[in-house]
Chain A
Amino acid sequence: METREKVLASIFKTIKDNVPDMFGSELSEDTVLNEKTNIDSMGFILVLTKLEGEFGVKIPDEKWNDIRTIRDLADMILAYMPKN
């Protein structure tokens, strides 16, 4: 089972590696990924799908709109992580 710290570290790295200019240079748990539930944002989609692949997680479609910040994303990944 991954720790919250590891998940957050992966989120930060994924954002910096893939969409470094999309969410600002200073990332924190409060960084907003998804303004006004705009799940169509390419940055949001890329980050989410890459992290799903990394952690073997599939966040249910209907939950995507609930993800607004990095904190929300970390919570969601941990909530749906396979229980080994």
Chain B
Amino acid sequence: MEIYSNTVTLKNKDVDLHQRLKTSKLFELLQEASIAHTEALGMGRNRTLDRGLLWVVLQQKVLIHHMPHYDDTITVVTWPGETLHVLFPRYYQILDEKGTLLVEASMIWMLVDQKTRKMIFPDRWDIIIPGVKTGREMEMPVHMSFPKGEETFSFTVPYSYCDLNGHMNNTHYYDLVEDHIPQAAEGRTIREIEADYGTEILYGGKIDISLKIHKDMIEASGDKEKNRFRIRIRYSE
């Protein structure tokens, strides 16, 4: 199965107060597709988690042409790019029932040792994911750097934000950010999201969040001794 796809109908729990797919839920759908495809390719749980290896996402880039709504039936498609020694690029598309492109994304993944939390060399563990070229690949995310914003607050990672890796799941960074900016509740239309995850934040970890809020863009970063994450969200005018 070179390309994976899964069709879902969006339910109440998936959407926000404007009946649009929540940003965190969007990333959850992409993450679930990644996991499912990796399993289907034979590089899932028994080759990774059960051997003490964890899949972690490092960078994300998403272009939203049209955010799906409550009760929409969408198809999430994903395929792997060519492995870059230790990095696993992956591409995504979300299509509506007519096959219209709603969302496209790219992410870079890596495997780490569960105990040391250090990168591993996949060849040494016989973890091979052949890349696929469809011609629909969007550009890969890049490292982001921007000054800290004026609005700052402290945040402690709660139990409900953590996943099986024992750290804050990347989808919840979007809940965290959107709970503290006006654009989300105002129903502003997101056009592009970029994210860069430096170091994980474990359950109970405390970080300092800073926000730079412009009319059509927000930049959020979380730091504690070193940068933990950077997220940039651009909105339509």
State the A residues within 8 Å of B (CB): 17-22, 39-40, 42-43, 45-46, 48-50, 52-53, 58-59, 61
CB distance from B144 to the nearest CB of A (A): 9
Chain A neighbourhood of B143, CB < 8 A: 18-19, 22, 42-43, 46
CB distance from B148 to the nearest CB of A (A): 13
Pairwise interchain contact A58-B119, C-beta atoms closer than 8 A: no
Docked complex Cα distance between A49 and B119 (Å) = 13
Chain B neighbourhood of A22, CB < 8 A: 143
Q: Which of B70-78, B83-91, B205-213 contacts A (4 or more CB under 8 A)?
A: B83-91
Chain B neighbourhood of A45, CB < 8 A: 86-87, 110, 119
Pairwise interchain contact B85-A58, C-beta atoms closer than 8 A: yes
Chain B neighbourhood of A61, CB < 8 A: 121, 123-124
Chain A neighbourhood of B87, CB < 8 A: 45-46, 49
CB distance from B235 to the nearest CB of A (A): 25
Docked complex Cα distance between A17 and B179 (Å) = 32
Pairwise interchain contact B86-A40, C-beta atoms closer than 8 A: no
Interface size on B, residues (CB 8 A): 15
Per-residue CB proximity of B127-154 to A under 8 Å, as 1/0? 0000000000000001101000000000
State the B residues within 8 Å of A (CB): 58, 84-87, 110, 118-119, 121, 123-124, 142-143, 145, 198
Pairwise interchain contact B84-A49, C-beta atoms closer than 8 A: yes
Pairwise interchain contact B58-A42, C-beta atoms closer than 8 A: yes
Question: What is the interface of chain A mostly: helix, strand, loop, or mixed?
Answer: helix
CB distance from B60 to the nearest CB of A (A): 14
Pairwise interchain contact A20-B145, C-beta atoms closer than 8 A: yes
Chain A neighbourhood of B84, CB < 8 A: 49-50, 52-53
Docked complex Cα distance between A17 and B110 (Å) = 21
CB distance from B141 to the nearest CB of A (A): 10
- 3 closest Cβ pairs, A-B complex: A49-B84, A61-B121, A21-B145
Closest chain A residue, CB of each to CB of B142: A18
CB distance from A25 to the nearest CB of B (A): 12
